[in-house]
Amino acid sequence: EPEVTQTPSHQVTQMGQEVILRCVPISNHLYFYWYRQILGQKVEFLVSFYNNEISEKSEIFDDQFSVERPDGSNFTLKIRSTKLEDSAMYFCASSERGSGANVLTFGAGSRLTVL
Amino acid sequence: SQQGEEDPQALSIQEGENATMNCSYKTSINNLQWYRQNSGRGLVHLILIRSNEREKHSGRLRVTLDTSKKSSSLLITASRAADTASYFCATDKGTYKYIFGTGTRLKVLA
């Protein structure tokens, strides 16, 4: 069964450093998402991406964050100048469509620890 | 506005019992979905119910949707220890944005 692949599974970084989280969505999916989950808390929407553009973003997704599809397969989330409160699980998801009866397929997540 | 609040926050039952989780939301939706998350893992889609549907079944899962009350429930019948996980509802307003609730942590005791 096709799956969404995320790397790294765990990254530890120092406050102020830049981090890039990588995702390989399902090949025929056209919509891509990043969510984050602070330990034991709700799953928070960060951004959705379609046709090489951001479709929607949340208040959390400020200038510190950026997304990119550098090639035909990878979808990346960059966090510039990480803060302690950026420590969380970051989940990538993809879907065939952007709305309607549409199912998101999630990756296993990347755990980011900011020291 | 916050979309998707599940209750209870945590639920502990014996194997074989039924588990019911509720989700409330605040604005109109196109559809509502339920996802499951095993500890430390990604979310897995369980079932989707459209806004014009009132009830849907899939195996041991039964989902209801009441758009007048802006609420949904997920019933897992004859629960098993393997059902132990967190369950989240997600709402879609048709804007490339799926909003997840706070989740219900279900523990099924063998």
Q: Considering CB atoms only, which of B50, B94, B97 is closest to A45?
A: B97
Please give the distance of CA B21 from its chain centroid, rounded to a whole number. 6
* Beta bridge partners of residue B13, listed in sequence order: B108
Q: In this predicted structure, what is the pLDDT of residue A45? A: 94
Which residues on B lie below 8 Å from A108 (Cβ)?
A: 41-42
**What is the CB-side half-sphere exposure of residue B64 using CA atoms within 13 A?**
10
| A106 to B100: CB separation less than 8 angstroms, yes or no | no
Q: In this predicted structure, what is the pLDDT of residue A70? A: 85
Separation CA A36–CA A89 (nearest Å): 5
A42 → chain B, closest CA residue: B102
Separation CA A69–CA B28 (nearest Å): 32
| A99 to B50: CB separation less than 8 angstroms, yes or no | no
Selection from B44, B71, B69, B70 nearest residue B58 by Cα: B44
Q: In this predicted structure, what is the pLDDT of residue A67? A: 97
| A50 to B96: CB separation less than 8 angstroms, yes or no | yes
Separation CA B64–CA A72 (nearest Å): 39
Q: In this predicted structure, what is the pLDDT of residue A2? A: 80
Q: Can you point out the beta strands (E) in chain B? A: 5-7, 10-14, 19-24, 31-37, 43-50, 55-58, 61-66, 71-76, 85-92, 98-100, 104-109
* Beta bridge partners of residue A106, listed in sequence order: A93
| Percentage with pLDDT > 70 across chain B | 95
User: Residue B55 corresponds to which tokens in the numbers above?
Assistant: 């009830």
Selection from A64, A99, A6, A115 nearest residue B96 by Cα: A99
**Chain B closest-CA separation from residue A4 CA (Å):** 10
SS3 content of chain A, % helix, strand, coil (to 5): 5, 50, 50
Residues of chain A with confidence (pLDDT) below 50: none
Q: Considering CB atoms only, which of A55, A101, A106 is closest to B50?
A: A101
At B84, the amino acid letter reads T
| B96 to A98: CB separation less than 8 angstroms, yes or no | yes
Look at residue B84 and tell me whether its pLDDT is greater than 90. yes
Look at residue B1 and tell me whether its pLDDT is greater than 90. no
Q: Tell me chain B's radius of gyration from C-alpha atoms.
A: 13
pLDDT in tens, A92-110: 999 987 666 789 999 999 9
Q: In this predicted structure, what is the pLDDT of residue A100? A: 67
Q: Considering CB atoms only, which of B31, B42, B96 is closest to A108?
A: B42
